[in-house]
């Protein structure tokens, strides 16, 4: 009877502790904790005071020396080079009996006050100086309070967009959500995730796509990561995004240092794609010193930015001043009259197909046959209606080409197309969507059940020549955010009515 009584008491105690223990599974962070997590993982605060780290008397941006680099995503510390960073989880820091340093010295339990002091001065509650490898941070009171609020739940906070049964992935659709293009892409995303989920998902978690169009604030949404097309955003993902992202390509240049280490791309940026055409023109000597190139762009923000970058490249590398102007349906004939545009010169067109087609007709009627260069990702013309006088004069750059598609890659797409009646018209964007999803699936499987956004970024950085069978094998590194830097330069033969691959150019992104 006595044993049964003790067993009953233990059961009561267990239930009481379980009921009163703070939940640590998939609970949402408060706004302060979110801000603190940004300080911890990015070194970025919410005030005008830039956070800096002082190392041996030298101040550097905290973005270079983030807390997470040494203490890891769970706050337990990454041993490296004979140094074991402290366990900075709230439970460890505030134990009633204190803690012991690596040098054997004891310290009392931390309070919020002493934690603020050690972060900014490097002196612990016992008055001991921390190891010299630990920077001293300068930040506003608001930022340090936010950081402490996050440390109270680090290791216990949820992984955004992940539950025991699902992984929510934000998908940025191309164009408006009701456009044919967007509907076609949405259909292949749903087809792919259905196939994955019907076979058990990723470690028993189903992939749940959340579709976006013209989204301005993604960070507040409960999604694990973002994928899709950069042109769907009014927000600058290169600078503002806090979650991992794998996108088709960037609208602007992807610098070697990159503005946001969370963001990866399949293809070179729109700027780099067009720069590759300039490089090709120079290599083939289409651009001559005695002539000036022409740059005609449809007047939207992205195309104008690209045109300006091409102009800068010509000024810098060719010491020439291009003729650059906006083009629309109403000023085509006036532009064609410009003396800079003539047979044998180079002309970069950055605009939609209906304007491109009218431009070629106007040039043909004026008896002017310049070399035409355009990137297939941002510009287009109706190649099947190119005037025959432009035979081999039109060069189109693409970030992928049919020669890179393998039998297994084509089978993957054809299986989904036939089973789910996919629309063939928007095949290019569908293939990009499928490539991104295959890459995401590979990384999620490599990580396993214990999924975090930090681990996902690490796995992307470790991808080396990963074959999707749809584009060239993908490689990322800690300093490389474009998976495939190759541009394919093609030409349309208006006589044989065929697209021919001329050469490849390394975009160097």
> What is the enclosing helix (H) or strand (E) of 505?
strand 498-506
CATH 3.40.50.2300, the chain: domain bounds: 162-261+406-473, 271-398+488-506
In the prediction, which pLDDT does 17 show?
39
Average pLDDT over residues 196-222: 82
Q: Is a pLDDT exceeding 70 seen at residue 429?
A: yes
Per-residue pLDDT of 179-188, as tens digits, reads 888 999 999 9
Q: What CATH class has 271-398+488-506?
A: alpha beta
Q: Is a pLDDT exceeding 70 seen at residue 290?
A: no
pTM of the model: 0.75
Read off the pLDDT band of 85 (50, 70, 90): confident
Calculate the dihedral angle through the C-alpha atoms of 107, 44, 249, 180, rounding to the nearest 10 degrees: 110
User: What CATH architecture applies to the domain 162-261+406-473?
Assistant: 3-Layer(aba) Sandwich (3.40)
Q: Is a pLDDT exceeding 80 seen at residue 507?
A: yes
Read off the pLDDT band of 197 (50, 70, 90): very high
Q: In what order do the strands lie in the sheet with 294-297?
A: 323-326, 294-297, 346-350, 371-375, 394-398, 486-493, 498-506
| Separation CA 441–CA 203 (nearest Å) | 11
Question: b/e per residue, 74-87, with b = 16+ CB within 10 A?
Answer: bbbbeeeeeeebbb
CA of 259: how far to CAs of 41, 256, 447, in Å? 15, 9, 25
Q: For 155-204, give the DSSP string.
A: TTS--TTEETTEEEEEEE-SS-TTSHHHHHHHHHHHHHHHHHHHTTTBTT
More confident call, 96 vs 53: 53
In the prediction, which pLDDT does 446 show?
95
Residue 323 burial (10 A CB sphere; 0-12, 13-18, 19+): middle
**Which residues are CB-contacts of 16 (< 8 A; sequence separation ≥ 6)?**
none
In the prediction, which pLDDT does 424 show?
81
Helix axes 112-121, 141-151, angle to 10 degrees: 120
CA of 150: how far to CAs of 49, 91, 406, in Å? 19, 13, 47
Q: Note the helical H segments in 284-426.
A: 301-318, 332-336, 353-365, 407-420
CATH 1.10.760, the chain: domain bounds: 31-151
Q: Which of 51-55, 129-133, 472-476 has the lowest mean pLDDT?
A: 129-133
Residue labelled with tokens 């604030």? 217
- One of 2.60.40, 1.10.357, 1.10.760, 1.10.3470 is the CATH number of 31-151, namely 1.10.760
**Nearest residue to 30 via CA among 156, 127, 134:** 156
In the prediction, which pLDDT does 391 show?
78
Per-residue pLDDT of 138-169, as tens digits, reads 999 999 999 999 999 887 756 889 989 999 99
Beta pairing class for 99-100 and 106-107:
antiparallel
């Amino acid at each position: 009877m006595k044993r049964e009584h003790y067993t009953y008491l233990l059961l009561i105690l267990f239930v009481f502790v379980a009921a009163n223990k703070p939940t640590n599974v998939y609970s949402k962070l408060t706004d302060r904790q979110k801000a603190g997590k940004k300080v911890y993982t990015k070194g970025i605060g919410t005030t005008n005071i830039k956070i800096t780290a002082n190392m041996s008397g030298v101040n550097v941006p905290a973005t270079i020396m983030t807390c997470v680099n040494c203490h890891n995503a769970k706050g337990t510390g990454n041993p490296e080079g004979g140094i074991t960073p402290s366990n900075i989880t709230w439970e460890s820091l505030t134990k009633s009996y204190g803690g012991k340093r690596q040098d054997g010295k004891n310290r009392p339990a931390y309070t919020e006050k002493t934690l603020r002091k050690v972060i900014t001065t490097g002196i612990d509650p016992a008055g001991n100086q921390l190891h010299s490898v630990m920077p001293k941070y300068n930040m506003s009171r608001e930022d340090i309070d936010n950081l402490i609020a996050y440390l109270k739940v680090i290791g216990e906070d949820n992984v955004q967009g992940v539950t025991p049964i699902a992984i929510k992935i934000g998908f940025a659709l191309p164009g408006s959500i009701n456009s044919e293009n967007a509907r076609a892409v949405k259909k292949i995303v749903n087809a792919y995730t259905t196939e994955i989920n019907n076979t058990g998902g990723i470690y028993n978690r189903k992939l749940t796509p959340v579709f976006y169009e013209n989204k301005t604030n993604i960070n507040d949404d409960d999604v694990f990561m973002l994928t899709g097309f950069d042109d769907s955003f009014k927000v600058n993902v290169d600078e503002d995004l806090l979650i991992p992202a794998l996108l088709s390509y960037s609208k602007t240049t992807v610098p070697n240092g990159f503005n946001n280490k969370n963001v990866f791309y399949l293809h070179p940026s729109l700027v780099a794609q067009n720069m590759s055409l300039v490089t090709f023109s120079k290599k083939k000597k289409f651009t001559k010193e005695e002539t000036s190139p022409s740059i005609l762009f449809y007047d939207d923000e992205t195309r104008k930015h690209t045109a300006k970058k091409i102009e800068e490249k010509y000024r810098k590398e060719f010491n020439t001043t291009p003729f650059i102007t906006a083009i629309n349906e109403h000023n085509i004939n006036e532009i064609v009259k410009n003396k800079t545009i003539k047979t044998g010169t180079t002309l970069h067109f950055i605009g939609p197909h209906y304007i491109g087609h009218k431009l070629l007709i106007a040039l043909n009627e004026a008896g002017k046959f310049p070399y035409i260069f355009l990137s297939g990702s941002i510009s287009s013309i109706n190649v099947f209606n190119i005037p025959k006088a432009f035979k081999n004069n039109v060069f189109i750059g693409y970030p992928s080409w049919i020669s890179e598609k393998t039998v297994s890659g084509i089978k993957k797409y054809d299986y989904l197309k036939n089973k789910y009646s996919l629309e063939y018209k928007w095949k290019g964007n569908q293939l990009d969507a499928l490539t991104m999803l295959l890459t995401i699936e590979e990384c999620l499987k490599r990580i396993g059940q214990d999924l975090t956004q930090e681990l996902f970024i690490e796995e992307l950085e470790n991808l080396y020549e990963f074959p999707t069978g749809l584009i060239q094998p993908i490689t990322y590194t800690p300093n490389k955010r474009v998976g495939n830097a190759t541009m394919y330069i093609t030409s349309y033969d208006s006589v044989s009515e065929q697209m021919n691959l001329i050469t490849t150019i390394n975009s160097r992104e």
